[in-house]
Chains A and B, each alone.
Chain A
Amino acid sequence: MDNVEIVKTLVHHVRQSFLDVMENVDQDVADWLPPGEAHPIRMSNLHCLWAEDRFINVFLQEDPTIWSVIGLEEKTGLIPGRLPSAEWARSTPIDINQLREVYMPALFEGTDKYLDTLKADDLDKPVKSDVTNLNGLKAGEILIRFALHNANHVGEIASQKGTQGLKGYSF
Chain B
Amino acid sequence: MRLKKGRKVLRATAFSSTQMDSLYVIKTLIVRMHESFLDVMENVDQDVADWLPPGEAHPIQISAAHILWVEDAFVNAVIRESTTVWADLGLQEKTGIRPGSIPNLEWARTTNIDIEELKRLYVNELFDNTESYLGNLEPKELNREIDIEGKGRLLKRVLIGTRISDIFLTLAIHSANHIGEIASQKGTQGLQGYSF
Cβ–Cβ < 8 Å partners of A140 in chain B: 20, 24-25, 28
Q: Of B157, B172, B185, which contacts A171 at CB under 8 A?
A: B157
- Size of chain B's interface in residues, with CB distance under 8 A? 48
Q: Which of A50-58, A98-106, A151-159 contacts B (4 or more CB under 8 A)?
A: A151-159
Which 7 pairs between the two chains have the least Cβ-Cβ distance? A155-B180, A38-B187, A162-B57, A151-B176, A152-B180, A155-B177, A140-B20
Taking A1-B163, A34-B187, A148-B172 as contacts, is the C-beta distance between A17 and B177 under 8 angstroms?
yes
A12 to chain B, nearest CB (A): 9
Interface size counted on chain A using CB atoms at 8 A = 44
Report the bound CA distance from A102 to B19 in whole Å: 38
A165 touching B20 by the CB < 8 A rule? no
Contact with A along B171-189 (1 / 0, CB 8 A): 0110011111111110111
Q: A2-B22, A159-B58, A166-B56 are in contact. List 18 more A-B contacts (CB 8 A).
A: A6-B22, A13-B173, A17-B177, A35-B190, A38-B188, A145-B32, A148-B29, A148-B32, A148-B176, A151-B172, A152-B177, A155-B176, A155-B181, A155-B182, A155-B184, A158-B180, A165-B54, A171-B157
Q: Which residues of A contact B54 (CB under 8 A)?
A: 35, 163, 165
Residues of B within 8 A of A14 (CB): 173
Interface assignment of A65: CB less than 8 Å from any CB of chain B? no
Count chain B CB atoms within 10 A of each CB in A6, A141, A145, A158 and give the residue with the most.
Answer: A6
Q: Is A37 an interface residue (CB 8 A)?
A: yes
Within B146-196, the residues touching A (CB, 8 Å) are 157-158, 160, 163, 165-166, 169-170, 172-173, 176-185, 187-194
Q: Is the interface of A mostly helix, strand, loop or mixed?
A: helix
Q: Which residues of A contact B190 (CB under 8 A)?
A: 35-37
Known A3-B24, A165-B55, A171-B158; judge A156-B180 contact (CB<8 A): yes
